[in-house]
Structure 1
């Protein structure tokens, strides 16, 4: 009777009291159930510090080189780890260059307008392919996946763009890549994960497909749309190859195409700034300044979208 009174609620009468010595020996337990040892934790910390250093140190060298005086850069062989005197001469020269400022505006316009059009086309196509019993939905989905498995080459793409009369136009910078198949599959999987009862309720209220999309589906899909929008924006912002391939007028070049000429060939640096003694001797400062200017917009946008990143990608990928 005393055993019954002492027994904890919810335990069986014949249950044995838990004793620490009843646990399996340390060697018999799976590795993932073991407590990490001090050496293991220290090793993880060292690896993490090294990984962070491999990312931050080169980035800091780029920033420091862009802010260092030209004489120091020349003496150090083209780079600087810590500027002796902080100077923004390289940024002033780059931003005062008409080619760079025009290319910056072109890149901003292409990234904003292209991302908007890509999101519109991706969301509409993904919604249509996510709905059951859509006429022609399966053949269209197979065609979309076919382009993902067998992407077109450079020559066919150029012939299509040339045939559509988009050479030397800004349309050539985003129309050939208006819809990304990976982003389309992620958004489609997210839409398919929305409960069917919401669609039925909207249909009973008399809502059409567009109204259902804009009033029910899109408010629930902010995470995946933010992530896909980031993918599109980064792709448009970092692309330089389409500018080289489709634009013959150098005044229409986006920033990344101009940056490629600056970094790889030094075009527009030494000749334009030869009057500036130290800067002319160290065009590397100008190159690094252009790199920093091209990187800052993405660094400013990413922190606001980071919280949607994992949720949007994993939800769309798992439910697809």
Structure 2
């Protein structure tokens, strides 16, 4: 096949021939090659072992909390295979007393603390995300400095005591009201909000608070939900601050009560009349009551997590990479 341009000599054009013979190469890159059967088996085995390492202890705790005294005595400790279902441990701890009061204290601390922490963190992150804000660089450096320098346990204790927060639920909230990590994550997300939206809102006469609540926050629901989960789990699991600042037994959160049962070896102190139902033990075994407290401690986080898990990639990883 030839082609001719004007009066020039026609030039030969190579025609498409058959592909060269030989071994046909795969069109997939090396990193996209399908895994071998041995690799699939190895990955499946490792993942299965990891899942079992998490589920078996949880299953054992759950089964033991519903075990009867006879089953625990026969096994000699923790129960793996359920035999008899005896809910007397849960009926006992929720019939009034220390555990029920501790669950209520933890719930109040979690709800109140999460609201306070989210409010302070969002306000601080929005102010630090605006380049023209007052003392922007100085305040940002002050917050980031806490990553490197921690004041210490004794100064923190003296500050809490000096402010009159000792033996108060506020001592479980205010010392950890703002997490610098969460502040940096939300600030990075706020900085990626289009500036045109904020400028148009200012032209329409909106103030900073209205811009934050009507423009920025609706675009940042994912990161706020994830950070809210971080704060809620932290307040629900608060233990060390309760050990330092809470002296009254009637103000112990659930983690402090759990510590006294599991680690200190104290017997559960529950009130109310003995359980008197058909097929239910009147006085449940101590081990079943302890495991029931563990279940009550873990279940709220397991219930809330699936509703927020879908926001993790968008809320934290994306925001951190963009920032």
Asked if residue 285 in structure 1 is aligned to residue 288 in structure 2, the reply is yes
For the residue of structure 1 that corresponds to 2:50, the secondary structure is: helix
CA distance in 1, matches of 2:47, 2:117: 37
Root-mean-square deviation (CA, aligned residues, Å) is: 2.7
**1:136 aligned residue:** 135
Unaligned runs of 5+ in 1: 2-12
Q: Provide the C-alpha distance between the structure 1 equivalents of 2:130 and 2:269, rounded to a whole number of angstroms.
A: 58
Would the alpha carbon gap of residues 34 and 283 (structure 1) be closer, same or farther in structure 2, given more than 3 Å must change? same
After TM superposition, the score normalised by the length of structure 2 is 0.88
Cα distance in structure 2, aligned partners of 1:16 and 1:293:
74
CA deviation profile, 1:238-295 (whole Å, cap 9, x unmatched): 111111100111111111111111111232428979x899786841111110000111
Task: Say yes or no: does 1:305 pair with 2:308.
Answer: yes
Change (3 A) 1:16 1:82: farther
Q: Distance in 2 between matches of 1:236 and 1:158?
A: 18
Once the two structures are TM-superposed, the CA of residue 83 in structure 1 deviates from its matched residue by 2.0
311, 319, 322: which one pairs with 1:319?
Answer: 322
SS of equivalent to 1:179: coil
Q: Which structure 2 segments of 5+ residues have no match?
A: 2-13
Deviation of the 1:49 alpha carbon: 1.1
Q: In structure 2, how many angstroms separate the alpha carbons of the residues matched to 1:191 and 1:14? A: 58
| 1:269 matches 2:303 | no
Relative distance call for 1:88 and 1:129 in structure 2 (3 A) is same
Cα-to-partner distance string for 1:104-151 (whole Å, 9 max, x where unaligned): 110000000000000000000000000012120111111101112222
Asked if structure 2 preserves the Cα contact closer than 8 Å seen for 1:227 and 1:309, the reply is yes
Residue pair 1:115, 1:232 contacting (<8 A) in 2 also: yes
Listed as ranges, the matches of 1:182-201 within 5 Å are 182-201=181-200
Check 1:80–1:19 CA distance in 2 against 1; reply closer, same or farther (3 A cut). Answer: farther
Partner of 2:87: 88
**Whole-Å separation in 2 of the counterparts to 1:161 and 1:17:** 83
Bigger share in helix: 1
Confirm or deny that 1:45 pairs with 2:44: yes
The residue number in structure 2 matching 1:122 is 121
1:145-224 map, 5 Å:
145-224=144-223
Q: Indicate the SS of the match to 2:77.
A: coil
Tell me the number of residue pairs that the alignment of Structure 1 and Structure 2 aligns: 308
Check 1:150–1:236 CA distance in 2 against 1; reply closer, same or farther (3 A cut). Answer: same
Asked if structure 1 preserves the Cα contact closer than 8 Å seen for 2:190 and 2:216, the reply is yes
Structure ID, larger Rg: 2
Tell me, in whole angstroms, the C-alpha distance in 2 between the residues paired with 1:236 and 1:16: 72
TM-score between the two structures when normalised by the length of structure 1: 0.89
Deviates more, 1:277-286 or 1:110-119: 277-286
Distance 1:279 1:76, change over 3 A: farther
Inter-partner Cα distance in structure 1 for 2:18 and 2:68: 74
